[in-house]
């Protein structure tokens, strides 16, 4: 599967890292709130979060588009720990729409306010913060990719609003959905 991977517009890439920032992000995704995290830690039932970052393939030449400080393009690295999903029925017109919507977001900024909202939800258990505390037009990586899919395909990845989605929730949705296939898998198990 991996050696024959050929990128397509719209492929969703979930990426892992052992850097400090990535480990902090993954820690907050182990449970929706601190008290659920504590409960799961006591009973050793915490979720193993494998990915912290989401990007999308922009073309068939291995170019990614992703939300960093600003939305930017870069070459895909096949050697990083990652998993790539492809929507089974993604028509050419939809691929071109995803391409256009994503390209149109080039240069848009990262949403630190939404990170604060997600943290407040984690502290309080009140989903309102993650759902509605954000800067208009700004997104974090997973919300940016979710926005492109929502605009073109009305896909919500199992969430009410894209602001409440996390990389872990997207992974759980994609891995169990019959609408997506794993087309590349380089995981450290």
24 against 8, higher pLDDT = 8
Partnered with residue 72 across adjacent β-strands are 66
Residue among 111, 108, 94, 104 nearest 153 (CA): 94
SS3 57: strand
5 found inside a domain: no
Note the pLDDT tens digit of each residue in 115-127: 777 778 878 888 7
Give residue-wise pLDDT tens across range 126-154: 877 777 776 666 677 888 899 999 999 99
* 21 in a structural domain: yes
Residue 1 is assigned to a structural domain of this protein: no
Please tell me which residue, 112 or 157, carries the higher pLDDT value.
157
**Is 3 among the domain residues?**
no
Q: Would you state the pLDDT for residue 111? A: 66
Compute the average pLDDT of residues 4-25. Answer: 87
Q: What is the pTM of this model?
A: 0.83
- For residues 10 and 90, the answer to whether their CB atoms sit within 8 Å is yes
The verdict on residue 7 lying in a domain is: no
| Tokens of residue 127, six digits | 């989903």
What tens digit of pLDDT does each residue of 38-85 get?
A: 887 888 887 888 898 899 999 888 999 988 878 889 999 999 999 999
Q: For residue 40, tell me if it sits in a domain.
A: yes
The CATH number of residue 64's host domain is: 3.90.1720.10
Residue 6 lies in a domain: no
- Number of structural domains found in the chain: 1
The domain containing residue 93 runs over which residues? 12-186
């Amino acid at each position: 599967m991996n050696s024959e991977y050929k990128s397509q517009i719209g492929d969703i890439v979930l990426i892992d890292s052992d850097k400090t920032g990535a480990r902090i992000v993954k820690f907050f995704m182990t449970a929706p709130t601190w008290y659920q995290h504590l409960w799961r830690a006591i009973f050793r039932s915490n979720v193993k979060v494998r990915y912290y970052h989401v990007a999308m393939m922009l073309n068939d030449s291995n170019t990614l588009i992703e939300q960093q400080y600003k939305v930017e393009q870069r070459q895909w690295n096949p050697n990083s720990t990652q998993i790539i999903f492809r929507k089974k029925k993604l028509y050419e017109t939809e691929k071109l729409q995803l391409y256009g919507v994503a390209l149109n977001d080039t240069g848009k900024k990262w949403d630190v306010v939404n990170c604060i909202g997600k943290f407040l939800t984690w502290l309080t258990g009140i989903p309102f913060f993650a759902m509605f505390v954000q800067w208009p037009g700004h997104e974090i990586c997973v919300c940016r990719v979710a926005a492109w899919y929502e605009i073109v395909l009305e896909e919500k990845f199992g969430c009410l609003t894209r602001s409440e989605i996390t990389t872990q929730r997207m992974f759980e949705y994609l891995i169990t959905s019959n609408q997506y296939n794993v087309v590349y898998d380089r995981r450290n198990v």
